[in-house]
Chains A and B, each alone.
Chain A
Amino acid sequence: MATEKKPEPDELIHIGPEMAVAEADLMPGEVGRFVQGTSLWRDAWRRLLKNKLAVFGLVVVVIVTISSIIGPTVIQRVFGFTPDYIPSNDPRLTQSFPPFTGPNGEFSWAHPMGTDNAGRDQFARVLQGGQISLFVGILATLVSLLIGVSYGAIAGYVGGRVDNVMMRIVDVLYSLPYVIVVIVLLSMFRSQTPRGQLILLFVAIGTVSWLTMARIVRGQVLSLKNQEFVLAARATGVSNTRIIFRHIVPNTLGPVIVYATLEIPQIMLTEAFLSFLGFGVQAPLASWGSLAADGIQNIAVFPWQLIFPGVTMALTLFSLNFLGDGLRDALDPQMRTV
Chain B
Amino acid sequence: MFRFIVRRLLVTIPTILVVISITWVLIKLAPGNFYSGEKPLPPAIEKIIREKYGLDKPWYQQYGKTMWGIIRHLDFGTSLRYQGQSVNTIIKRSLPVSAAVGLLAYLLALIVGVTVGSIAALKQNSKWDYGSMALAMLGISVPNFVLGPILILVFSLGLYWLPPSRWGGFPSRNLVLPVLTLSALYMAYIARLTRAGMLEVLRSDYIRTARAKGLSERDVVIRHALRGGLMPVVSYTGPALAFLLTGTVVVERIFALPGLGNYFIQASLNRDEPLIIGIVAFIAITLLLMNLLVDIAYAYLDPRVRYQ
Residue ranges of A at the interface with B (Cβ–Cβ < 8 Å): 172, 175-177, 179-181, 183-185, 187-189, 265, 269, 272-273, 276-279, 289, 292-293, 295-296, 299-300, 303, 306-307, 310-311, 313-314, 317-318, 321-322, 325, 337-338
> Could you tell me which B residues sit within 8 Å of A by CB distance?
11, 15, 18-19, 22-23, 26-27, 29-31, 137-138, 140-143, 145-146, 149-150, 152-153, 157, 192-193, 196, 232, 242, 245-246, 249-250, 253-254, 264-265, 268-269, 271, 276, 279-280, 283-284, 287-288, 291
The CA of A310 and the CA of B145, in the complex, are separated in Å by 8
Known: A180-B246, A277-B265. 7 other contacts (CB 8 A): A177-B245, A179-B249, A180-B283, A181-B26, A273-B145, A310-B146, A322-B137
Contacts of A322 in B (CB 8 A): 137
Given A296-B149, A338-B232: A273 and B246 within 8 A (CB)? yes
Q: Tell me the nearest residue of chain B to A273, going by C-beta.
A: B250
Whether B249 and A277, one on each chain, are in contact in the complex, defined by CB atoms closer than 8 angstroms, is yes
CB <8 Å contact, B145 and A181: no
Q: Point out the residues of chain A lying under 8 angstroms from B264, CB to CB.
A: 180, 183
Q: Are A188 and B138 in contact (CB under 8 A)?
A: no
Question: Which residues of chain B are within 8 angstroms of A337 by Cβ–Cβ distance?
Answer: 196
Chain B residues near A313 (CB, 8 Å)? 143, 146
Closest Cβ of chain B: how far from A26's Cβ, in Å?
A: 33
Contact B242 A177 (CB under 8 A): yes
User: Complex: how many Å from CA A295 to CA B22?
Assistant: 34
Are A180 and B245 in contact, with the CB atoms below 8 A?
Answer: yes
Q: Closest residue of chain A to B145, judged by CB?
A: A276
Taking CB atoms, residues of chain A closer than 8 Å to B249 are 179, 183, 277
Among B18, B26, B29, find the residue whose CB has the most chain A CB atoms closer than 10 A: B26
A318 touches B268 (CB 8 A): no
Q: Are B143 and A177 in touch, CB under 8 angstroms?
A: no
| 7 A-B pairs with C-beta separation under 8 A | A175-B288, A176-B15, A183-B264, A185-B26, A314-B142, A314-B146, A321-B141
The distance from the CB of B42 to the nearest CB of chain A, in whole angstroms, is 24
Secondary structure dominating the interface of B:
helix
In the docked arrangement, what's the CA distance between A269 and B145, Å? 10
How far does the Cβ of A306 sit from chain B's closest Cβ, in whole Å? 5
Query: CA A183 – CA B15 in complex, angstroms?
Result: 19
Which among A188, A269, A276, A292 has the highest number of chain B CB atoms within 10 Å?
A: A188
Which of B150, B157, B279 counts the most A-chain CB atoms under 10 A from its CB?
B150
Q: Is the CB of B22 within 8 A of A181?
A: yes
Determine if A296 and B254 form an interchain contact, defined as CB atoms under 8 angstroms apart: yes
Residues from chain A with Cβ under 8 Å of B145 in the complex: 272-273, 276, 289, 292-293, 296, 310
B283 / chain A contacts, CB cutoff of 8 Å = 177, 180
Also in contact, A318 and B149, with CB within 8 A (given A175-B287, A181-B22, A184-B27) = no
Contact present for B250 and A187 (CB under 8 Å):
no
A183 → chain B closest CB, angstroms: 6
Contact of A269 with B265 in the complex, beta carbons under 8 Å:
no
Q: For the complex, give the distance between the alpha carbons of A293 and B253 in Å.
A: 10
CA distance A180 to B146 in the complex (A): 21
Please judge, given known A-B contacts A188-B30, A273-B246, A321-B137, whether A295 and B149 are in contact too, CB under 8 Å.
yes
Given A296-B254, A310-B143, A310-B146, decide whether A188 and B15 contact each other with a Cβ distance below 8 A.
no
In the complex the two chains form, is A177's CB within 8 Å of B30's CB?
no
A314 and B153: CB pair below 8 A?
Answer: no
User: What residues on B are CB-neighbors of A321 within 8 Å?
Assistant: 137, 140-141
Residues of chain A with a CB closer than 8 A to B26's CB: 181, 184-185, 188-189
| Cβ contact within 8 Å between B143 and A184 | no
State the Cβ distance, A113 to closest chain B Cβ, in Å: 15
3 interchain residue pairs of minimum CB distance = A188-B30, A310-B146, A318-B141
Cα A183 to Cα B279 with chains together (Å): 12
Nearest CB on A from B50, distance (A): 18
